Structure 1
Amino acid sequence: MDIGPGCGMMGFAEASGPLCAGLERLKREHPPLLKQMEELADSARGFAGDAGSGGWKEALRSLEEQVRSFTAELDLHSKREEDVLFPMMAKYIGRETGPIAVMEYEHEQAKARLSEFLSEVEKFDESAGADAARRIAGEVETAVQILTDHFMKEENVLFPMAERILSDAEKEELLERVQAI
């Protein structure tokens, strides 16, 4: 799903400003996730120099551990958005098209890439070699790119939009429900 002018996200000019506590909490979860994503991308790209030495086998297993740890953190963040924020916003802007549909699609795409990587690693035959390992590590790089762009859209469009459309009572409910997850 391409996000460009006229696709429901970029068509909104959102003013940046202070966010309510619930939205701020979601936004504060991004930097640690982004740091992990940087490390994942570095690890995924690290296969290039290890083809002859066999170090790629260890690198693949290490990347698998990193992805499992990251996925656990990402799942909590996604759950807070998918179970709380998105439904609250959908009452005002709908869910079938527009920003919420885009956000949910990007969640699905990133999770699918990470899941595909883990699935491929589980059934990976080391005799396939370093090139095959690099290919499946590419799934991680793609997921990182999707999520990097996704976080930017949340911070610059979705969160400011939520700040504008949610009532004070809904903002309090958002914080309570986000903290409960």
Structure 2
Amino acid sequence: MFVPMNCGMSGNNEIKLCAPLQRLKKEHTPLTLQMEDLNELALKIGKDSSIDNWKEPLLQLRENVKQFISELDPHSEREEGVLFPMIGRYIGITTGPIAVMEYEHEKAKSNINRFLELTVNLQDNPSAEAAEKLASYVIEAYLTLSEHFMKEENVLFPMAERMLTAEEKEELELKINQI
């Protein structure tokens, strides 16, 4: 059976995205770099037997997570508040790609918020095991968002490029520029 080379996820990279979709995709680069740094820090927590107090590494991770969230939130709002509803007019929002994207946003935010909640009044000397458990929320958010960004770039953004009219793309640009 012959399968054209432009089918599937890899072929979508060939689609030229309009300016607002390109902007959303471009925003993934610095966010991904931050996420990778967070993941790297989180993976080290609880692992070094020469460290007997994990409070400082956890507080550093907490500060980095807060900085990341301050940059992730506007990006998420541009997607959830503008792009997803526009695509949803065509494909619906209760099932399918939009429902999956929103679920992944919520899953990542839930893990990040759980980490922040549990580290707000950190005990004096969390054990390595307790510290590792706390850091695992950041690792889980990283894994969710990494896969999520890939799906958006390879599936959702190309789908939006094909579906949205020129007028809708102008509306998308106006609205995301306001956030």
Q: Quick one: which of 18, 22, 26 aligns to 2:16?
A: 18
How far is 1:49 from its partner?
4.2
Percent identity over the alignment? 51
Supply the distance in 2 between the matched residues of 1:12 and 1:148 (Cα, whole angstroms): 16
* Equivalent position of 2:146 in the other structure: 148
Deviations 1:88-147 (A, max 9, x none): 001000000000000000000000000000001013323442210111100000000000
| TM-score, normalisation: structure 1 | 0.89
Moved more, 139-148 or 51-60: 51-60
How far is 1:154 from its partner?
0.1
* Equivalent position of 1:4 in the other structure: none
Supply the distance in 2 between the matched residues of 1:73 and 1:141 (Cα, whole angstroms): 18
Supply the distance in 2 between the matched residues of 1:158 and 1:28 (Cα, whole angstroms): 14
* Equivalent position of 1:44 in the other structure: 42
Conserved in 2, the CA contact under 8 Å of 1:14 and 1:160? no
Gaps of 5+ in 1: 1-10
Question: What is the root-mean-square deviation in Å for CA atoms of aligned residues?
Answer: 1.7
Gaps of 5+ in 2: 1-7
Aligned residue runs from structure 1 range 130-169, under 5 A: 130-169=128-167
Conserved in 1, the CA contact under 8 Å of 2:9 and 2:154? no
Q: Quick one: which of 72, 75, 82 aligns to 1:74?
A: 72
Supply the distance in 2 between the matched residues of 1:86 and 1:172 (Cα, whole angstroms): 15
- State the SS of the aligned residue for 1:15: helix
Moved more, 117-126 or 26-35: 117-126
How far is 1:55 from its partner?
5.1
Matched, 1:30 2:25: no
Conserved in 1, the CA contact under 8 Å of 2:53 and 2:127? no
How far is 1:51 from its partner?
4.1
Report the number of matched residues: 171
Q: Quick one: which of 62, 65, 85 aligns to 1:64?
A: 62
| TM-score, normalisation: structure 2 | 0.90
- State the SS of the aligned residue for 2:12: coil
Change (3 A) 1:29 1:12: closer
* Equivalent position of 1:5 in the other structure: none
Q: Quick one: which of 84, 87, 106 aligns to 1:86?
A: 84
* Equivalent position of 1:129 in the other structure: 127
Supply the distance in 2 between the matched residues of 1:82 and 1:123 (Cα, whole angstroms): 31
